[in-house]
Amino acid sequence: MSKEKNEENLMQKIVSLSKRRGFIFPSSEIYGGFGAVYDYGSYGTELANNIKSTWWKAMVQKNQNIVGLDSSIFMHPRIWEASGHVGGFSDPLAECKECHFRARVDHVLEEEGVFADEKMTEKEINKLLIENKDKVKCPKCGKSNFSEAKNFNLLVQSNLGNFTGNWDKKPTYLRGETCQGIYVNFKNVLDSTRVKVPFGIAQIGKAFRNEITARQFIFRKREFEQMEMQMFVHPDNAMDIYEDWRNKRWQYYLDLGLKKENLKWHQHENLVFYAKAAWDIEYKFPFGFKELEGIHARGDYDLTQHSKFSGKDLSYQDPKTNEKYLPHVVETSVGVDRTFLAVLTEAYIEEKLEDGSERVVMKFPKKLAPIKVAVFPLLKNKPELVKKAKEIFENLSDKRMCEFDDNGNIGKRYRRQDEIGTPYCLTVDFDSLEDEKVTVRDRDTMKQERIEIRDLESFLEKNL
């Protein structure tokens, strides 16, 4: 089997496990689905929450000079003009003249090994398309007959507030990135907290983009979640602080359990005019290395634009030197969904066991596992076992996510917990009623040991 085939297989296996075990469901499935939108199931919600709290801890909790924010999805329409999104936030779209399929031109070019930088103008991308017109194929019908590419704006519009006739009848948008909420609250945060430059504002929240192509599962969604941090810095220190964050974010992914060989740097060469530097951390997804996080040195572009469009002075006065200046911005930006897919890809393991059977196990780092402990009574129809198992579940679930399971036989329960990545399974059997011990089974080694019920809490404290 070729490598590609294997990788394709891995993606299918991850998609199928995600649905079967309640990590991710396609949106609106009973209505035939809804392109590039997905729902997180019960275990998916837990995993996503764990990913978000890991990020929050690394960015806000552990950094004295970074504070949190939760700004709204709806914002004043002028914000998206100031940010440049109304004018320039677009992807090149072309239509196949044979089957009328609409494709993202940079993606169809990429399929043929022609690299089109996302910062190219409409003219530049059309030149590339013409040069390669016999090579690029429609992903649907396979023919090479595309229309001219047109830029398609990615902002999602809403009709919010239309009845008031406010805002010059301009459309209101669902935010295309969370960081704009940070820039427009820069002064509020400065005035209400004790931060001083250099300081950061971090935010986790939904963003919306009219992505042209719906593909690669949760990698490219139309409704997704971002975890963004904007550091406001003195212009003279900007590049040092930028380098510092590049290192910190790389280390963060290693700490998250992603293997070094599955990560790599990609430097953007064609920068937007305001950016000073842009690097991506890429992860080796089942479909190849692709962007996981972007780390950008944005200069003073954002505060300059919002000062200009709002008419408010957003400059900062250093309390010690009295120097007045517009801070520069260093940004780290990653999607929850992309991190989720990287974590699933890394965790998915198929193992051949000594007895010749196979198991699928999600070897999540324990801090990310959706369920930390599963508690089983050996038999469902023995009230004394069920009572004891329920007591243990009640006690342990105070501090962590636990699951009580009395369905099927123990083998089936282990298989299920392996597939959702539960680090420990505890079984209450008849001996437990006598010796006050339970069998603790380790997800990774599958080793079993007897542990006293009264020691369970300290065992879990130590091992989780």
Q: Which residues contact 426 (CB under 8 A, 6 or more apart)?
A: 373, 374, 375, 376, 389, 392, 438, 439, 440, 441, 456
Q: Of 92-100, 145-153, 335-343, 362-370, which segment contacts ligand GAP by CB under 6 A?
A: 335-343
**Contact letters (x/-) for ligand GAP, 369-388, by CB under 6 A?**
--------------------
Q: Which tokens hold the place of 193?
A: 């907290």
DSSP string covering 178-217, please?
Answer: SHHHHHTTHHHHHHHS---SSEEEEEEEEEE---S---TG
Other C-beta atoms closer than 10 Å to the C-beta of 127 total: 13
Cβ pair 52, 186 in contact under 8 A: no
Instruction: Quote the least distance from Cβ 219 to ligand GAP, whole Å.
Output: 6
Could you say whether residue 403 binds ligand GAP (CB under 6 A)? no
Query: What distances in angstroms separate CA 430 from CA 213, 387, 437, 441, one per listed residue?
Result: 57, 12, 10, 17
Query: Rule CB under 6 A: is residue 413 a binding residue for ligand GAP?
Result: no
Contact residue for ligand GAP among 21, 175, 221, 246 (CB under 6 A): 221
CA distance 310 to 57: 33
Cβ pair 296, 268 in contact under 8 A: no
Decide whether 296 or 372 has the Cβ nearer to ligand GAP: 296
Nearest CB to ligand GAP, comparing residues 207 and 368: 207
Q: Nearest distance from residue 279's CB to ligand GAP, in Å?
A: 11
Number of residues lying near ligand GAP (CB under 6 A): 19
| Cis peptide bond upstream of 319, omega within 30 | no
Specify the stretch interacting with ligand GAP by CB under 6 A; choose among 223-231, 346-354, 370-378, 439-447.
223-231
Cβ neighbors of 345 (< 8 A, separation 6 or more) are: 10, 14, 262, 283, 284, 285, 286
Task: Report the C-alpha gap between 62 and 386 in whole angstroms.
Answer: 42
Among 86, 179, 426, 438, which residue interacts with ligand GAP (rule: CB under 6 A)?
A: 179
Site string for ligand GAP, 282-301 (x = CB under 6 A): ---------xxxx-------
In terms of residues, how long is the chain? 464
Choose between 127 and 206: whose C-beta lies nearer to ligand GAP: 206
- Pick from 18, 71, 226, 417: which binds ligand GAP (CB under 6 A)? 226
- Least separation in angstroms between CB 85 and ligand GAP: 10
Interface segment toward ligand GAP; rule CB under 6 A; list 44-52, 245-253, 333-341, 414-422: 333-341
The structure tokens listed for 279 are: 């690097």
Task: Tell me the residue number closest to ligand GAP, measured at CB.
Answer: 335
Question: Which residue ranges make up the site for ligand GAP (CB under 6 A)?
Answer: 177, 179, 209, 211, 220-221, 224, 226, 228, 291-294, 331, 333-335, 337-338
